[in-house]
Amino acid sequence: MPKRVRHDSKEGSSGESEKRTSCGERIDVATLLEQRNELLKMFEGMERNQHTLEKMVAALKHELEVKNNELRRKNRMVILGEMAACLAHEIRNQLGGLELSAKLLKRDVEGDTRKEKPLEVILTAVAELNTLVGDMLTYTGNLVPRKEPVSIETVLARALSISRRELERANVCVVKNVPPGAPQIEIDPEMIGRVFVNIIINAAHAMPEGGTLVIEARLGDSALTVAFSDTGCGLPPEAETKLFTPFFTTKAQGTGLGLAIAYRMVREAHGGSIEGTSKADGGAVFTVRLPLTPQSGAATV
Ligand SMILES: Nc1ncnc2c1ncn2[C@@H]1O[C@H](COP(=O)(O)OP(=O)(O)OP(=O)(O)O)[C@@H](O)[C@H]1O
Ligand SMILES: [Mg+2]
């Protein structure tokens, strides 16, 4: 028995809006239109879903690519780390022998400045090479932060005290602006202190004729940001792509590992970010962003 589709409109009662199928079944046109609109709506919804799904797939693909790159980089770092450890062992052994011999010789020629001078040059070179080997090991090594709640003011004060000689030598005036009562944050004070020291000493090197270094800490909802703004020469043009890559340096005595190490310490060990830019009015600004943890938000200085 064909099922009659009910229609309440006037036309319906006069039969104008009703049609029959080839089998004689009665069809209500308004109901058909309604069903068609519903189908259209369904298609639109499906289209929107497809769009959303496509976006999700693209985002997941991107995330996968980032993760794969990160994994490749980590694998490279492991190989580099092993190589660096072997090299460091050999180099340090040789440096140890060289240092001992130079020190013994220096003792023998004590008071003879003409003979003492070249030995001092050797000892300085040995010390610099030891620092380079140490930096290489830090850069390629596994960075495991030892986090503890600390006040950023304390970490900054210590970094400034370590850098004091360089700042004084360059006649740099430091202006520090840390909000009073800033909460303690969960960081490795040694690592972040080292990052700050490198940024401060870099700023001093960029202002050999003197200048001002403004250090400003800002507390946001999810992170603490520390900005170091100097009035120096500004970043070199290659900095845009090379600033945080190992061995990029424009200094005769630089190893170019300072910012590469800082990058790993801030990003990998603390999940933060670090960036450096030249300022329009001259000088450079380095910004370190450290995420706040739930514990760090609770305790105050
Ligand atoms: N505040 C700054 N102003 C101008 N240039 C800077 C500044 N900070 C860093 N740079 C540039 O970035 C380069 C890399 O800095 P990085 O700290 O990595 O190495 P470095 O200071 O040269 O050597 P080191 O390994 O001893 O730190 C510097 O050589 C310098 O050219
Ligand atoms: Mg440096």
The structure tokens 């030892």 sit at 146
Q: Kindly provide the b/e burial profile for residues 12-51, where b requires at least 16 CB atoms within 10 angstroms of the residue's own CB.
A: beeeebbeeeeeeeeebbeeeeeeeeeeeeeeeeeeeeee
Cα 256 to averaged position of ligand 2 atoms, centre (Å): 6
Cα 251 to averaged position of ligand 2 atoms, centre (Å): 9
Give which of 299, 270, 279 is closest to 289, Cα–Cα. 270
What 3-state DSSP class applies to 19? strand
Cα 163 to averaged position of ligand 1 atoms, centre (Å): 15
Q: Does 43 map to a domain?
A: no
The verdict on 109 and 201 lying in the same domain is no
Q: Does 104 map to a domain?
A: yes
Give which of 263, 180, 254, 173 is closest to 209, Cα–Cα. 173
Cα 268 to averaged position of ligand 2 atoms, centre (Å): 19
* Residue 293 Cβ < 6 Å to ligand 1: no
Cα 157 to averaged position of ligand 1 atoms, centre (Å): 21
The residues pairing with 276 across neighbouring beta strands, listed in sequence order, are: 286
* Residue 255 Cβ < 6 Å to ligand 1: yes
User: Which of residues 140, 159, 177 is at a domain's end?
Assistant: 140
Q: Does 64 map to a domain?
A: no
The verdict on 188 and 261 lying in the same domain is yes
Q: Does 236 map to a domain?
A: yes
The verdict on 170 and 294 lying in the same domain is yes
Per-residue pLDDT, 2: 43
Please give the number of the atom of ligand 1 that sits closest to the Cα of 228. 1
For the purposes of burial, counting CB atoms within 10 Å of the CB of 8, is it exposed (0-12), middle (13-18) or buried (19 or more)?
Answer: exposed
Please give the number of the atom of ligand 1 that sits closest to the Cα of 256. 19
Q: Is the dihedral of CA 40, 43, 49, 50 positive or negative?
A: negative
The verdict on 255 and 172 lying in the same domain is yes
Q: Which ligand is nearest to the CA of 276?
A: 1
The verdict on 134 and 162 lying in the same domain is no
Cα 115 to averaged position of ligand 2 atoms, centre (Å): 33
Per-residue pLDDT, 17: 64
Which residues of the chain are under the pLDDT cut of 70?
1-18, 21, 294-301
* Residue 246 Cβ < 6 Å to ligand 1: no
The verdict on 172 and 241 lying in the same domain is yes
The verdict on 132 and 167 lying in the same domain is no
Per-residue pLDDT, 7: 43
Cα 127 to averaged position of ligand 2 atoms, centre (Å): 17
> What CA–CA distance (Å, rounded) separates 193 from 263?
13
Cα distance from N-terminal residue to C-terminal residue, the chain: 84
Please give the number of the atom of ligand 1 that sits closest to the Cα of 255. 25
The verdict on 184 and 243 lying in the same domain is yes
Domain that holds residue 116: 76-140
The verdict on 111 and 210 lying in the same domain is no
The verdict on 153 and 130 lying in the same domain is no
Question: Strands, DSSP E only, in the chain?
Answer: 18-20, 26-28, 148-150, 172-177, 185-187, 211-219, 223-230, 273-278, 284-291
pTM: 0.74
Q: Does 85 map to a domain?
A: yes
User: Which of residues 140, 166, 193 is at a domain's end?
Assistant: 140
* Residue 163 Cβ < 6 Å to ligand 1: no
Number of domains in the chain: 2
User: Which of residues 140, 156, 189 is at a domain's end?
Assistant: 140
Q: What is the CATH number of the domain that holds 181?
A: 3.30.565.10
Given a contact cutoff of 8 angstroms between Cβ atoms, the answer to whether 234 and 292 are in contact is: no
Amino acid letter, 80: L
Helix axis angle, 189-206 to 152-162, nearest 10°: 50
Q: Does 5 map to a domain?
A: no
The verdict on 80 and 105 lying in the same domain is yes
Question: Which protein residue has the closest C-alpha to ligand 1 atom 8?
Answer: 202
Please give the number of the atom of ligand 1 that sits closest to the Cα of 135. 25
* Residue 231 Cβ < 6 Å to ligand 1: no
Q: Does 266 map to a domain?
A: yes
Per-residue pLDDT, 30: 87
Cβ neighbours, 10 Å, residue 252: 5
The verdict on 110 and 175 lying in the same domain is no
* Residue 232 Cβ < 6 Å to ligand 1: yes
Per-residue pLDDT, 21: 67
* Residue 287 Cβ < 6 Å to ligand 1: no
Q: Does 185 map to a domain?
A: yes
Given a contact cutoff of 8 angstroms between Cβ atoms, the answer to whether 299 and 183 are in contact is: yes
Q: Kindly provide the b/e burial profile for residues 133-148, where b requires at least 16 CB atoms within 10 angstroms of the residue's own CB.
A: bebbbbbbbebebebe
